[in-house]
Amino acid sequence: MGMKKTFVLVVIVALFAGLILFRGHQQKQLKTATPEEEIARVETVRLREMDLAEVVEFTATVEPEEQSAVVPKVPGRTVLEVFVSEGDRVKKGQPLASLDSSLIRRQLEEARAFYETAAADYERYRSLYDEEVVSRQAVDQARARFAQAKSAYEQAGIMSGYHTITAPAGGVVARRFIDPGDTAPQGPAFLIFRQDNVKAVGAVPERAFTGIRLGAKVTLLVDAVPDREFEAEVTNLSPVIDPATRTGKIEVSLPSEGVILPGMFVRARMTAGERRVMALPREAVSRLAGTGETVCYVAEGGKAILRVIGTGIEHEGFVEITEGLTPGDEVITTRAGTVRDGTRIEVYRR
């Protein structure tokens, strides 16, 4: 190969190497160059005064509207038999359990013997008095002994009846605290729930609590009975607000229909009147990831400025704004993913 050809080849290789290096440098320059900031086109709204219905939602637990604790009138006796189990339906006066009555039976027999003797004595003394054999005082004493024996016999009869524990009201046996062989307790032996009607008891934030009235209608969703809504009525409102939780207790009542049972969990929803509020459309409000703060973006000086706000009730696409904005603020409603705090914006109106 001649000198000239070698020189041309070297020049060509050098040119290619230079071109490759220049393209690499150009790519690097493009990567490090600051791209021109895009301007986001947005729409804005201002705070709007409006009447919003306060929709109150709370969770509650079902309780019996009435319950009866069945306490043995003769504690200390041995339980012989128990006739019912938890979950059984009972009628008023139905026997629930029997207690050992051997002691009262002996007392009853003795009381009856005294009563029969005193009755015979009294009859005999009256006859003798009519025949003027005994004094009036003797007859009165016989009558007093008879009255006392009669009272003791009747009392023993009543006590004998107490050895069968009966239901004071109809309902469902919710709890059974005794078994055969136990000693009858001083406290309850059974707990009976009347379940024609039930009540749901929950807590409502104080702001909404003041707008609730007795008799107001409430819609209940029962987890255990899906695909159905139940209508209830407010029957009791706590006269005080709990200072620790800032909530008030509310009770609502409804027919159990045989399907809503004490202990079930329910979700309640109701309207507690309307309030005049300052509001924004729902799409203008968002939550900040990580912190959970409620925020919006305000158009200021051609930029989107993040603003932390306080919110209240929500209804039909509007949210009450309680703090963080003034009536003149231009709040951005249309936010592309590129709008952040400090993003350059252009406001347009349709």
User: What CATH number should be reported for the domain holding residue 291?
Assistant: 2.40.420.20
Contact 165, 70 (CB under 8 A): yes
The least confident of 3-7, 114-118, 189-193, 339-343 is: 3-7
* Number of domains the chain contains: 4
Residue 24 belongs to a domain: no
Q: Are residues 172 and 87 in the same domain?
A: yes
pTM comes to 0.49
Q: Are residues 124 and 267 in the same domain?
A: no
Give 280-330 pLDDT, tens digit per residue: 998 889 888 788 889 999 998 888 999 999 998 787 789 999 999 988 899
Q: Are residues 260 and 175 in the same domain?
A: no
Identify any residues that bridge with 165 across adjacent strands, giving them in sequence order: 97
Contacts 24+ apart (CB under 8 A), 117-121: 117/149, 118/142, 118/145, 118/146, 118/148, 118/149, 118/150, 119/146, 119/149, 119/150, 121/145, 121/146
- Mean pLDDT score across all residues of the chain: 85
- Diameter of the chain by CA atoms? 179
Give 16-74 pLDDT, tens digit per residue: 666 677 676 666 655 554 455 678 888 898 998 888 777 888 899 998 888 889 999 98
Q: For residue 83, what is the enclosing H or E element? A: none
CA distance 256 to 127: 66
CA distance 118 to 144: 9
Tokens of 265: 């969990």
Give 218-231 pLDDT, tens digit per residue: 999 998 888 889 99
CA distance 181 to 160: 19
CA atoms lying within 13 Å on the CB side of residue 189: 34
Residue 291 belongs to a domain: yes
Contact 232, 248 (CB under 8 A): no
Q: Are residues 258 and 221 in the same domain?
A: yes
Boundaries of domain holding 220 = 56-64+195-275
Q: Are residues 252 and 201 in the same domain?
A: yes
Residue 56 φ then ψ, to 5°: -100, 130
Q: Are residues 48 and 131 in the same domain?
A: no
Q: Are residues 227 and 149 in the same domain?
A: no
Q: Are residues 219 and 307 in the same domain?
A: no
Q: Does the pLDDT value for residue 115 go beyond 80?
A: yes
Q: Are residues 202 and 248 in the same domain?
A: yes
Last residue of a domain, one of 221, 255, 275: 275
Residue 14 belongs to a domain: no
Compute the average pLDDT of residues 117-123: 88
Give 77-89 pLDDT, tens digit per residue: 999 999 999 989 8
Identify any residues that bridge with 332 across adjacent strands, giving them in sequence order: 44
- DSSP-derived 3-state class of residue 231: strand
Residue 34 belongs to a domain: no
DSSP codes of every residue in 317-345: TEEEEEES--TT--EE----TT--TT-BE
Contact 285, 309 (CB under 8 A): yes
What CATH number is associated with residue 82? Answer: 2.40.50.100
Q: Does the pLDDT value for residue 156 go beyond 80?
A: yes
- In the chain, the percentage of residues whose pLDDT exceeds 90 is 31
pLDDT band, residue 10 (cuts 50/70/90): low
Q: Are residues 48 and 85 in the same domain?
A: no
CA distance 2 to 9: 11
Residue 4 belongs to a domain: no
What CATH number is associated with residue 113? Answer: 1.10.287.470
- The pLDDT assigned to 17 comes to 65
What CATH number is associated with residue 235? Answer: 2.40.30.170
Residue 13 belongs to a domain: no
Q: Are residues 264 and 331 in the same domain?
A: no
CA distance 131 to 90: 59
Q: Are residues 45 and 95 in the same domain?
A: no
Residue 319 belongs to a domain: yes
Last residue of a domain, one of 258, 275, 292: 275
With a CB cutoff of 8 Å and minimum separation 6, the contacts of 28 are none
Residue 172 belongs to a domain: yes
